[in-house]
Amino acid sequence: MGSFRFLTAGESHGPGLTIVVEGMPAGVPISEEHIAVDLRRRQGGYGRGGRMLIEEDYAYITAGVTRGVTTGAPIALTIENKDYANWKDKVPPPITVPRPGHADLSGALKYQLDDMRLVLERSSARETTSRVAAAGIAKALLGELGVHVAGHVVAIGGVQAPVSTLPWAELFDRAEESEVRCEDTEASRRMIERIDEAKANRDTLGGVVEIVAWGLAPGVGSFVHWDRKLDGRLAGAVMSINAIKGVEIGDGFGAAARPGTQVQDAIRMREGRLIRATNRAGGTEGGVTNGEPIVVRAAMKPISTTLTPQPSVDVKTGLETVMEYQRSDICAVPAAAVVVEAMVAIVLADTYLEKFAGDNIAETRANMEHFLSSIGWTALV
Ligand code: EPS
């Protein structure tokens, strides 16, 4: 990692979030309104809690973009926490009973903090807002190079959407119309029902999201060393998202149960073009893109905070008790699809810049086109 870098700072109930993105070539059009579309997508979804009714996430660009175009300088973004107004004059009581499943206990032990609120403030999934904003920049770069990245929900609380045969672009358009970001109408209805049940039972739900990137060049990533492999970088980036507990690429865990003759993608020649009969590998072989769409799925555990109290210990008294409820969501899987999509876009922007570099986007594009024509690649869509 290093060609496209970003850092985030900010507390969930502090004044705001700050993002610095570095490594973008000059000449890429960037618009705050465009970034705002994904920020809005992240805020939505059936099952979200009260916080999203307060916020209207919007990233202001304060550096690195002049007259709507990148200059090559680091790009800075800031997002206001509207909820800050409700917190700034309050001194909330310290949290001394950790919520199981969150960073509360391990974070407080690590930093030797008496008040677990200080852990919660930074470990909150509010931080994923910053990642989606950074990904808005990554997506602008990928768009210039013909790459599309999109995400949808394939399961919530055990309700599984049937495998779709729609072309990717159509599938993702349909998913955006669903309150749970799921393309299948019947599955969406059952997922919503399941979320209502979880709410009534004072519980929470997880699920599975699927992200697809298409329009890819082959040869991006590396097979020569472990930390340069694209599949490893994707899995690490996706796993770093709050509540993500499993990642698979292509057939993933399913492939483990089948014999070797049934997990490969036959290489064929059609009208002078190399094609693959299937895409079981999910777009990477040996840690390198093969030109097929990248397909990444991520499993999100249910949000750890439940309205049903869970056993814990007051670390101040050493007595067993139950955790304190902190405002939360019943289900954030539709939002997670947007966040996983963001991390996939960021990793792809990084690996694309590593392969095609260039200080100006014209140079980056020319590098890519030169490479594709020198290998006789015509499958780029
Ligand atoms: C979130 C903001 C948070 C939570 C949620 C995600 O806001 P607040 O704590 O003020 O309600 O709604 O975070 C979690 C549930 C979590 O466990 O981290 C957001 O902006 O997405």
Q: Is 217 helix (H, G, I), strand (E, B) or coil?
A: coil
For the chain, give the mean pLDDT: 96
Q: Do strands 284-285 and 5-9 pair parallel, antiparallel, or not at all (unpaired)?
A: unpaired
- For ligand 1, the distance from its centroid to the CA atom of residue 150, given in whole angstroms, is 23
- Please give the number of the atom of ligand 1 that sits closest to the Cα of 123: 18
Residues 6+ apart with CB under 8 A from 31: 68
Six-digit token string for 3: 């060609």
CB 164 within 8 A of CB 183: yes
- For ligand 1, the distance from its centroid to the CA atom of residue 241, given in whole angstroms, is 13
CATH match for 5-374 among 3.40.640.10, 3.60.150.10, 3.40.190.290, 3.40.1710.10: 3.60.150.10
Average pLDDT over residues 51-66: 96
- For ligand 1, the distance from its centroid to the CA atom of residue 54, given in whole angstroms, is 11
- For ligand 1, the distance from its centroid to the CA atom of residue 110, given in whole angstroms, is 22
pLDDT single digits (tens) 325-375: 888 899 999 999 999 999 999 999 999 999 999 999 999 999 999 999 999
The residue whose CA has the least distance to atom 20 of ligand 1 is 126
pLDDT single digits (tens) 367-381: 999 999 999 987 544
- Per-residue confidence (pLDDT) for residue 49, from 0 to 100: 87
The type of residue at 87 is W
CB 230 within 8 A of CB 347: yes
- Per-residue confidence (pLDDT) for residue 378, from 0 to 100: 75
- For ligand 1, the distance from its centroid to the CA atom of residue 69, given in whole angstroms, is 32
Instruction: Work out the angle at residue 213's Cα, subtended by the Cα atoms of residues 211 and 216, and round it to the nearest 5 degrees.
Output: 160
**Residue length of the chain:** 381
Q: Indicate the pLDDT class of residue 1, thresholds 50, 70 and 90.
A: low
Q: Indicate the pLDDT class of residue 131, thresholds 50, 70 and 90.
A: very high
- Per-residue confidence (pLDDT) for residue 327, from 0 to 100: 86
Q: Which has the closest alpha carbon to 214: 337, 336, 341, 333?
A: 341
- Please give the number of the atom of ligand 1 that sits closest to the Cα of 102: 17
Q: Is 225's pLDDT higher than 90? A: yes
The type of residue at 277 is A
- Please give the number of the atom of ligand 1 that sits closest to the Cα of 328: 15
Any idea where the domains of the chain sit in the sequence?
5-374
End-to-end CA distance of the chain: 26
Strand boundaries in the chain, DSSP class E: 5-9, 16-22, 59-63, 65-66, 69-70, 75-80, 148-156, 159-160, 207-214, 244-249, 267-270, 273-276, 284-285, 288-289, 294-300, 311-314, 319-322
Average pLDDT over residues 227-234: 98
- Please give the number of the atom of ligand 1 that sits closest to the Cα of 54: 10
DSSP string, 2-41: -SSEEEEE--TTSSEEEEEEE-PPBT-B--HHHHHHHHHH
- For ligand 1, the distance from its centroid to the CA atom of residue 149, given in whole angstroms, is 25
- For ligand 1, the distance from its centroid to the CA atom of residue 152, given in whole angstroms, is 20
Cα 140 from Cα 75, distance rounded (Å) = 13
The residue whose CA has the least distance to atom 13 of ligand 1 is 125
- For ligand 1, the distance from its centroid to the CA atom of residue 124, given in whole angstroms, is 6
Sheet with 207-214: strands ordered across: 159-160, 148-156, 207-214, 294-300, 244-249
Average pLDDT over residues 83-96: 93
Q: Is 288's pLDDT higher than 50? A: yes
Q: Which has the closest alpha carbon to 334: 179, 202, 183, 170?
A: 179
Average pLDDT over residues 228-246: 98
- Per-residue confidence (pLDDT) for residue 380, from 0 to 100: 46
- Per-residue confidence (pLDDT) for residue 55, from 0 to 100: 95
- Per-residue confidence (pLDDT) for residue 379, from 0 to 100: 57
Q: Is 272's pLDDT higher than 90? A: no
CB 142 within 8 A of CB 211: no
- Pocket-testing residue among 90, 126, 129, 304, ligand 1, by greatest number of atoms within 8 A of Cβ: 126
pLDDT single digits (tens) 144-201: 999 999 999 999 999 999 999 999 999 999 999 999 999 999 999 999 999 999 999 9
- Per-residue confidence (pLDDT) for residue 342, from 0 to 100: 99
pLDDT single digits (tens) 289-308: 999 999 999 999 999 999 99
**Model pTM score:** 0.97
Pocket of ligand 1 (CB under 6 A): 12, 49, 51, 83, 124-126, 128-129, 242, 303, 305, 327-329
Query: Which secondary-structure segment (H or E) carries 178?
Result: none
Q: Indicate the pLDDT class of residue 76, thresholds 50, 70 and 90.
A: very high
- Please give the number of the atom of ligand 1 that sits closest to the Cα of 128: 21
The residue whose CA has the least distance to atom 15 of ligand 1 is 328
- Please give the number of the atom of ligand 1 that sits closest to the Cα of 129: 20
The residue whose CA has the least distance to atom 21 of ligand 1 is 126
The residue whose CA has the least distance to atom 19 of ligand 1 is 126
